[in-house]
Amino acid sequence: MTDSLLTLNAGSSSIKVALFDVAGQGDALHAARWSGQADGLGAGLKARLRVHDAQGRPLLDETLEGDRRSHQGALAALLEWHAKQGDGEGGGDRIAAVGHRIVHGGINFVAPVRIDDAVLAELAALEPLAPLHQPHNLAGVRAATKAFEGVPQVACFDTAFHSTQTEVNRRFALPRALHDAGIRRYGFHGLSYESIVAQFARVAPELADKRVVVAHLGNGASMCGIAQGRSVATTMSFSPLDGLTMGTRCGHLDAAVVLYLMRSHGMSADQVETLLFRESGLLGLSGISSDMRELDASAAPEAAEAIAHFIEQVVQHMGSLTAALRGVDAVIFTGGIGENAAALRARILEECGWLGVRVDAAANAAGQARLTMPGSPVSAWVLRTDEEAVIARHTARVLRAAG
């Protein structure tokens, strides 16, 4: 019987699950034996569960109905499917550990850690800082603990990658006591950025240690300025609400707007949280959808305005991160939008012509890894993020450290 690692990655509207061999999980990233994803969860969209093998061949494709449209229901469906599989797809394997993406690690968690009751309680206390993610992350931990009794559960944090930032970049201009109490810039999407750094070292080793801006564009979106493989500055800060315009999140906002809404519109803290996290962003701007694909297909002027707003925010933050890096050598797109929306990439790069980016239109349209012409002063790339492989690698390290 083969020992395997299971990874769980619960996002704001999706859950990703993957199965990896324990053997060979060293510092390199390895492909999963099979991967599954449930998306459209709790978002008023069509919820769908798909699983495919390492070669991309479909193993399962079904529409989720009723209670299975929730995060908990979709996870239960995935675990049920796994339990029914024979040895050929890994169902007969022994699960040696489960690695989890945890969005917020707070002050104390800057490296992967084995989860116990005390760790779980501390992570639950951070739920108000990431209400679209942390509750689902921890629900996955509890479900996996119940499904795989006695099996180690390992937390891998999105915030950890950004712990290399200087104090200058981590502080708000607030009294020092508040910083010491944990009110600071954390940054998120760290597992994705770690995946891109590892891949870029293989794809373009001559650029891997230089100044790179990575744009993780999806329903949740952020950008990160990276130098020598380490985070220097990023657009998300105290919570995953800050920075870029997102699917339903407002992104950067004057804090006085919150005070105004509460004082002049009589909104409660819960109502403001719902507005900023669930009713704003592309959905709020367009009044149509939070899905970039639906907006791109729409003829409504509000859809075009929402897309233009998103692009403008990316371009402005590109300038901010370039300044933080004191220059830039490469730009990398990743995430659901960054990887798949060629026309949107082209518009962003066109607006970033001041960087010296010379786009290869054919390469961009074909989704090739390199998007720019030879000799372009700043090169642009698109790479598919693999957070699950990063989680598996970290989980294996924790197991080895524990003997």
> Among all residues, which ones are annotated catalytic?
158
Distance CA 235, CA 218 (A): 14
Strand extents, DSSP E, 179-294: 211-216, 222-227, 230-234
Q: Is the CB of residue 164 less than 8 Å from the CB of residue 230?
A: yes
Name residues whose C-beta falls within 8 Å of residue 167's C-beta, 6 or more positions apart in sequence.
none
Nearest one of 223, 253, 218, 255 to 236, comparing CA atoms: 223
Nearest one of 125, 129, 287, 132 to 220, comparing CA atoms: 132
Distance CA 202, CA 147 (A): 37
Question: Which letter does DSSP use for residue 215 in this model?
Answer: E
Distance CA 267, CA 337 (A): 33
Pairing between β-strand 14-21 and β-strand 3-10 as defined by DSSP bridges: antiparallel
